[in-house]
Structure 1
Amino acid sequence: MDNTVGNLFNFKGYNFDHSFINIDLVENIEDFKIRNDDVFLITYPKSGTIWTQQILSLIYFEGHRNRTENITTLNRVPFFEYVNKTSNFFEAPSPRLFTSHIPYYLAPKGLKKKKAKILYIYRNPKDVMISYFHFSNWLVTLEKTENIEHFMEKFLDGKVVGSRWFDHIRGWYEHKDDFNILFMCFEDLKKDLRNSVLKISSFLEKELSEEDVNAVVRQAAFQNMKSDPQANYGDIIKNIVGTRNSEGRFLRKGTIGDWKHHLTVEQNERFDKIFQKNMKDFPLKFIWDINEK
């Protein structure tokens, strides 16, 4: 049975990127053997994934912090559900760090034993949508969309890699008691990176010296990451994935409130109505503007 439509591979109601999916792993995902010290970074696409990969790499690996090892963040914190030829998950030394966009119901059963840790990074969905629109029009593996209006329709309907944003975050949050999970807001990382690094380190039970914390914060600063070939995916995009033009970047702006420059008043009001309908009484806070407290 072919579950592929365009670039989307649908498995149990969730859309993966067909270009790179590790089908064998996904079809047996429930039974993937989890170790107690595994760490999963879970995000919906375009929610600060690469940034948090860099933060985790800097927290866990001294050779990454002091620049003595030339290993990319993608190899240090590889994508769980997508093919990575340099990673053998079964033979990898502990602790294993994974990146994933999977929904809660596809999580390996072993993650529910609560010893392995999950860091869930979420971002306000208007900025997610705008970032995703630019990203989809840049990468050749994703479907190009002519305008924001059309992409907004696809995004809200879940006809993108990652499926519906609302379902993804609600699913993980409403089942949080099944997992050892910390929810953190992308915008909080932007506003106070140092405090966020301390919070993540504490959750991961990784004690860092002040000097180490300073090194993590310095190298995880967005502008420093954009120019860091270990962290910015530049070679992978150029040599493996491919782009429609040479002007875009995997790490584009990383700002808060970019949606204001793209959505019309009518589109914004429509989005707000749908957000309120889907996220009524949802306890996590969202930050929509750079000046918001």
Structure 2
Amino acid sequence: MELSDEYLFKYKGIYFMSDVVTPDYLDSLEDFDIRDSDVFLVTYPKSGTVWTQNILSLIHYEGHRNGTEETDLLDRMPWLEYNVRNVDWSKRESPRLIASHLPYYLVPKGLRNGKGKVIYVLRNPKDVLVSYYNFSKFSRKLEETDFVLMEQFLDGKVLAGSWLDHVEGWSAHRDDFNILFLTYEELKKDLRSSVLKICNFLGKKLTEKEVDEVVDNATFDKMRKDRRANYKHLSSELVDHTRGGFLRKGVVGDWKNMMTVAQNERFNHVFKKRMEKLPFKFCWDMSLN
């Protein structure tokens, strides 16, 4: 499969969805006005983004109360680069919750200077690839052709570019940001502890009951059934809801059910040496389910 201008375009080394964002708009983000109270969720695609968006929404909106019961995630935590609902950021009340897949060097300069807070969530790249492959069937803006997608993923010729470059970049420049790193795997292993860690980072004090409600409503089964949390409201021009959804399995280690021995060896050959230098604890064979 070759990348097509019909679906993706390259901007400063990174691939973006055509017809959803323009180079001019991406240029404008350099001077996006950052507030000290802003909370950014940054991920490489398919790394637990929707899950963490929902967690942050539940924390901020205190369990979907205060008149926001029917507000979906796209309005609770809009995307910075993919502003599909034309949010007027200047009119958003603080704290603003903002999602992004941008690499560190394309985020607003105010964020790079330590204003606002960033929560960066990363996931085993093998599971990221499997999730990306299944998402490509669901999206009308991406193409999928069996597992040949793996070679494009290894080359960074997919949405958001190279996983390694994305994670390495944010990690190497962590001192430029007010940032908390979390892994998908630790969220799966102990969701409550992860929620408390996020609350502590944000300075958000919840009662024990409120924490329990966040954890309960952020479980995978609850999110999959919740139209506010599962992107069911997303336009049919962007996705084909008959072919899947943003929330599929929500498991760790699904790559073992997809990759052949040869594909796994190929992946390790490209990724493992650079991954070993990352300051994050990863285990290829981690199983927490």
Shorter-normalised TM range: over 0.9
Q: 1:24 to 1:96 in 2, by over 3 A?
A: farther
Residue 281 of structure 1: aligned partner: 277
C-alpha distance in structure 2 between counterparts of 1:290 and 1:223, whole Å: 22
Residue 144 of structure 2 is aligned to residue 157 of structure 1:
no
C-alpha distance in structure 2 between counterparts of 1:242 and 1:265, whole Å: 32
- Deviating beyond 6 angstroms after TM superposition, the runs of 4 or more aligned structure 1 residues are none
Q: Show CA shifts across 1:174-201 (max 9, x none).
A: 0000000110000110111000000011
Q: 1:67 to 1:226 in 2, by over 3 A?
A: farther
The answer to whether the Cα contact below 8 Å between 1:53 and 1:74 also exists between their aligned partners in 2 is: no
Residue 88 of structure 2 is aligned to residue 88 of structure 1:
yes
Deviation at 1:65, TM superposition (A): 5.0
3-state SS of 2:40 partner: strand
Residue 215 of structure 1: aligned partner: 213
Residue 262 of structure 1: aligned partner: 258
| Percent of pairs with identical residues | 51
Alignment of 1:69-80 (within 5 A): 69-80=69-80
C-alpha distance in structure 2 between counterparts of 1:292 and 1:206, whole Å: 28
Residue 172 of structure 2 is aligned to residue 171 of structure 1:
no
3-state SS of 2:188 partner: helix
The answer to whether the Cα contact below 8 Å between 2:120 and 2:181 also exists between their aligned partners in 1 is: yes
Deviation at 1:290, TM superposition (A): 4.9
Q: Which of 207, 224, 233 pairs up with 1:226?
A: 224
C-alpha distance in structure 2 between counterparts of 1:65 and 1:255, whole Å: 29
3-state SS of 2:228 partner: coil
Q: How many residues align?
A: 287
3-state SS of 1:140 partner: coil
Name the amino acid aligned to 1:91: K
The answer to whether the Cα contact below 8 Å between 2:40 and 2:97 also exists between their aligned partners in 1 is: yes
Name the amino acid aligned to 2:265: E
The answer to whether the Cα contact below 8 Å between 1:22 and 1:81 also exists between their aligned partners in 2 is: no
Residue 244 of structure 2: aligned partner: 248
Residue 118 of structure 2 is aligned to residue 118 of structure 1:
yes
3-state SS of 1:64 partner: coil
C-alpha distance in structure 2 between counterparts of 1:112 and 1:291, whole Å: 35
C-alpha distance in structure 1 between counterparts of 2:155 and 2:142, whole Å: 16
Residue 201 of structure 2: aligned partner: 203
Q: 1:264 to 1:210 in 2, by over 3 A?
A: same
Q: 1:105 to 1:86 in 2, by over 3 A?
A: closer
Residue 155 of structure 2 is aligned to residue 182 of structure 1:
no
Residue 64 of structure 2: aligned partner: 64
Deviation at 1:141, TM superposition (A): 1.3
The answer to whether the Cα contact below 8 Å between 2:17 and 2:159 also exists between their aligned partners in 1 is: yes
The answer to whether the Cα contact below 8 Å between 1:103 and 1:172 also exists between their aligned partners in 2 is: yes
3-state SS of 1:81 partner: coil
Q: 1:192 to 1:17 in 2, by over 3 A?
A: same
Residue 28 of structure 1: aligned partner: 28
Name the amino acid aligned to 1:64: H
C-alpha distance in structure 1 between counterparts of 2:287 and 2:247, whole Å: 22
Deviation at 1:63, TM superposition (A): 6.0
C-alpha distance in structure 2 between counterparts of 1:193 and 1:131, whole Å: 20
Q: Show CA shifts across 1:202-238 (max 9, x none).
A: 001101110110010000001100000000011215x
Deviation at 1:25, TM superposition (A): 3.0
Q: 1:73 to 1:16 in 2, by over 3 A?
A: same
Q: TM-score, structure 2 length as denominator? A: 0.94
The answer to whether the Cα contact below 8 Å between 1:65 and 1:216 also exists between their aligned partners in 2 is: no
Residue 141 of structure 1: aligned partner: 141
The answer to whether the Cα contact below 8 Å between 2:114 and 2:178 also exists between their aligned partners in 1 is: yes
Q: 1:199 to 1:114 in 2, by over 3 A?
A: same
C-alpha distance in structure 2 between counterparts of 1:15 and 1:139, whole Å: 15
The answer to whether the Cα contact below 8 Å between 1:39 and 1:95 also exists between their aligned partners in 2 is: yes
Q: 1:16 to 1:276 in 2, by over 3 A?
A: same
